[in-house]
Structure 1
Amino acid sequence: MNDHPLLQGELRLAGRLDGRFFDLLAALALTGSLQKAARAAGYSYKGAWLVLDAATALTHAPLVAKASGGAGGGGTRLTPEGEALLTAWRTLQARHAAFLHEHAAWLATQPALDALLKRMSMKTTARNQFFGRVSAVNAGPATTSVRIALDGGQEVTASLTTEAAKELKVKKGQEALALVKSSEVVLVTDFGGYQLSARNQLAGTVSRVQRGAVSSLIGVTLPGGTVVTASVTNDAVDGLELAVGQPATAVFKAYAVMLAIRA
């Protein structure tokens, strides 16, 4: 596997011969022992023979051969075809890495696409990831409030310690991600004349009801297309009679928002 912060690509030959298989061949060439090579590549001895047999069926030529006995008791070696295949793999690996490097350099010249892929590359368990720009920063002695303007025109407010805001160097105009767990989102279908203290109240339409054994994932689509996901108990779904097409407001407190700023 060749990795880059934005690009990844796995090299395989014939769709089946991957890096682990060639680790086996390389270890075999080094040790002359299939048992040692299998251990190094993470195969059982039987598994190593099976994968070598499958590769031989693809190449129509034996890749390994038994070495004659002697002081060392014999062993297993690569055939000329096996050595040629291993050499070809190493060459292709180098070319593949160069290919990824070349295209990563091209991505750096495409700022909009580069920014999009960087947002996609972040891995987190938070189901809600709202991308936008910092529209306001209100710093207090202990707590700082940060507002993020979303593409659809809505705003999300995050409350974090002033120390954390300083470490992130948060300032107006920065790109930012607001991360919110689905369990922190409360859905309201009727305020009944009351007002809530929660800073974030995003009105939209129920667009998905994915029912599970105990709880359901409810998607609320906001004007502009942003989707907020809430994890709601099945009892609550039934009690509110939640259904696709129903107006709903996704509510979550500012302290439930985790702010991510690109370094």
Structure 2
Amino acid sequence: MSTTDHPLLQGDLRLAGRLDWRFFDLLAALALTGSLQKAAKAAGYSYKGAWLVLDAATALTHAPLLAKSAGGTGGGGTTLTAEGQALLVAWRELQTRHAAFLHEQAAWLATQPALDALLKRMSMKTTARNQFFGRIAAVTAGPSTTTVRVALDGGQQVTTSLTTEAAQELKVKKGQEALALVKSSEVVLVTDFGGYRLSARNQLAGTVSRVERGAVSSLVGLTLPGGTVVTASVTNDAVDGLALAVGQQATAVFKAYAVMLAVRA
């Protein structure tokens, strides 16, 4: 596979914009087996699919890549032409150079701490729409439950409640970089408290900056002072009932147990 794995950088190598690692796996399998049928299976192609991709490659190179031999004492087979072999050798060399290039860029990123930290936050893949980056401002450990407060760049704080065992496994400590993850379905928007106070630990006031209406529910973005955006999944009936619109003031409310904490290993 041509994708060079790296925590921050990845790159797909292609020749002529079309010939990728899978095609060259096919060529390598052909060189090894001498059988298009076996090579197609090894590279994950159907027999017809292998022929089609080889025909397309031949049209690009304007030179035959395969040579077929008739059956005889040793049986027939398919081999790579000199052009096909040269293309495979070039691919392997380019792969090595490509990996070295990515390694060099990763080394440069390591000298840029701010950019490196930003990209590391981006490298985490999760279904949670809300990913709040900050530093742990306080850790309050109890016999069974530990409360952690994460200070965001905009001055707000997000509180999470997790088991003390989990907190110990994560080795949470004050000053540590952390991500607070919250599903959009866990966020409740409040436009008027009506004189009541809520028990939810997290109450972040901001301005509605987007309303994306769907068939049944809407995604509502609430921009906090400092630029952090909280996304809430709200039924269309609730959007209509609250008359939610861009520019409106609202508060995003979610409980501490709805917040998942992530720290770098």
Interval of TM-score (by shorter of Structure 1 and Structure 2): over 0.9
Residue 145 of structure 1 corresponds to: 147
How far apart, in 2, do the equivalents of 1:70 and 1:115 lie? Answer: 63
Q: Which amino acid aligns with 2:261?
A: L
CA-CA distance at 1:108 after TM superposition: 1.4
Equivalent pairs: percent with the same residue? 88
CA-CA distance at 1:71 after TM superposition: 2.3
Residue 129 of structure 2 corresponds to: 127
Aligned mate of 1:98, from 93, 97, 100: 100
Aligned: 1:236 with 2:226: no
Aligned: 1:223 with 2:231: no
How far apart, in 2, do the equivalents of 1:45 and 1:141 lie? Answer: 63
Q: Which moved more, 1:155-164 or 1:70-79?
A: 70-79
Q: Which amino acid aligns with 1:13?
A: L
How far apart, in 1, do the equivalents of 2:73 and 2:252 lie? Answer: 76
- Report the 3-state secondary structure (helix = DSSP H, G, I; strand = E; otherwise coil) of the residue aligned with 2:26: helix
How far apart, in 2, do the equivalents of 1:161 and 1:35 lie? Answer: 55
Aligned mate of 1:114, from 113, 116, 128: 116
- Report the 3-state secondary structure (helix = DSSP H, G, I; strand = E; otherwise coil) of the residue aligned with 2:99: helix
TM-score normalised to the size of structure 2?
0.98
CA-CA distance at 1:94 after TM superposition: 0.6
Residue 197 of structure 1 corresponds to: 199
How far apart, in 2, do the equivalents of 1:72 and 1:2 lie? Answer: 40
How far apart, in 1, do the equivalents of 2:106 and 2:9 lie? Answer: 7
Structure 1: stretches of 5+ with no match in the other structure:
none
Residue 43 of structure 2 corresponds to: 41
Moved over 3 A (4+): none
- Report the 3-state secondary structure (helix = DSSP H, G, I; strand = E; otherwise coil) of the residue aligned with 1:54: helix
How far apart, in 2, do the equivalents of 1:98 and 1:256 lie? Answer: 43
Structure 2: stretches of 5+ with no match in the other structure:
none
| Per-residue deviation, residues 80-113 of structure 1 (Å, max 9, x unmatched) | 0000000000000011111111111221121111
How far apart, in 2, do the equivalents of 1:20 and 1:171 lie? Answer: 45
Residue 90 of structure 2 corresponds to: 88
**RMSD of aligned Cα (Å):** 0.8
Residue 12 of structure 1 corresponds to: 14
How far apart, in 2, do the equivalents of 1:167 and 1:103 lie? Answer: 33
How far apart, in 2, do the equivalents of 1:177 and 1:193 lie? Answer: 32
How far apart, in 1, do the equivalents of 2:73 and 2:206 lie? Answer: 79
How far apart, in 1, do the equivalents of 2:149 and 2:21 lie? Answer: 46
Q: Which amino acid aligns with 1:98?
A: A
- Report the 3-state secondary structure (helix = DSSP H, G, I; strand = E; otherwise coil) of the residue aligned with 1:124: coil
Q: Which amino acid aligns with 2:178?
A: A
TM-score normalised to the size of structure 1?
0.98
CA-CA distance at 1:3 after TM superposition: 1.2
Q: Which amino acid aligns with 1:146?
A: V
- Report the 3-state secondary structure (helix = DSSP H, G, I; strand = E; otherwise coil) of the residue aligned with 2:94: helix
Q: Which amino acid aligns with 2:97?
A: R
Q: Which amino acid aligns with 1:65?
A: A
Q: How many residues are treated as equivalent by the alignment?
A: 263
